[in-house]
Structures are given as structure tokens and as C-alpha cells.
Amino acid sequence: MYSTAKLQEWVPRVRELARTTQETYVFFNNHYPGKAGKNAQMFTQLFLSLPE
């Protein structure tokens, strides 16, 4: 599972990409033990809560 700090690193990158596209998708690929869903929820919370 990715840490909160590691996910926070991606927020500015995704925001920058989102400014230039109509739709932006972020995929999480955690093979074992399968925490992709939890990481996606964590990232969404960070993305919506951190200032731009």
C-alpha cells in the first residue's frame, strides 16, 4: 500500500494534467495484498482536501 506521503507527491502532478484534459483517470496497481481500492480512496481525499 502506498503511504499518504507518497500519494501526496502525485496530487500536484495529477492537478497539472487535469488542467489540460477534459477527463483525468488515476489507476492504482497494488498486486499484493490488493490495497488499490484503499489507496484510491486515500488519493481522492487528498486531492479534494489539499489546496491547489
Grid coordinates representing 12 are 500536484
| SS3 readout for the chain | CCCHHHHHHHHHHHHHHHCCCCCCCCCCCCCCCCCHHHHHHHHHHHHHHCCC
Distance between CA atoms of residues 51 and 32, nearest Å: 32
pLDDT tens digits for range 5-24: 999 999 999 999 999 999 99
User: For residue 15, what pLDDT is reported?
Assistant: 95
Question: Number of folded domains in the chain?
Answer: 1
What's residue 17's pLDDT? Answer: 94
Domain range holding 19?
A: 4-49
pTM for the whole structure: 0.81
Q: Are 49 and 7 in contact (CB under 8 A)?
A: no
